[in-house]
């Protein structure tokens, strides 16, 4: 059985999960997140805003400012009130998409 890395309750009332294996694969693509696990979890639990993906209505982008002009983005897919992490990354621009929740 795969070990769970985290399960975080989002402000939208569903839990986003990821496994240790998936997190390690994500770090290969985004090694800058190595020391930012807590920040990714905080982005899911306490984002500044949540946007719906323009290409998939079940995909949500959670945004939290890490430092000025820099965002941490956690991307999760929600299916039947279950959520799983697709990816996470840092960016200096917010993607377009409908804002569905904000502080």
Instruction: Give 68-78 pLDDT, tens digit per residue.
Output: 778 999 999 99
- Ordered alpha helix ranges (H), the chain: 20-29, 37-45
pTM of the model: 0.94
C-alpha 72/C-alpha 55 separation (Å) is: 20
User: What is the dihedral angle through the alpha carbons of 29, 34, 37, 39, rounded to the nearest 10 degrees?
Assistant: -90
What was the pLDDT predicted at 67? 74
What was the pLDDT predicted at 52? 97
| 1 pLDDT more than 80 | no
Token duo for residue 31: 């090694």
């Amino acid at each position: 059985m795969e070990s769970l890395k985290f399960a975080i309750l989002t402000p939208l009332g569903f839990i986003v999960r990821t496994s240790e294996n998936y997190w390690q694969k994500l770090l290969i693509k985004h090694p800058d997140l190595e020391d930012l696990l807590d920040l990714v979890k905080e982005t899911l639990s306490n984002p500044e805003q949540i946007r719906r993906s323009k290409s998939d209505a079940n995909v949500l982008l959670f945004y939290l400012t890490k430092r000025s002009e820099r965002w941490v983005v956690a991307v999760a897919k929600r299916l039947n009130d279950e959520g799983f992490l697709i990816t996470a990354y840092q960016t200096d621009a917010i993607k377009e998409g409908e804002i569905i929740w904000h502080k």
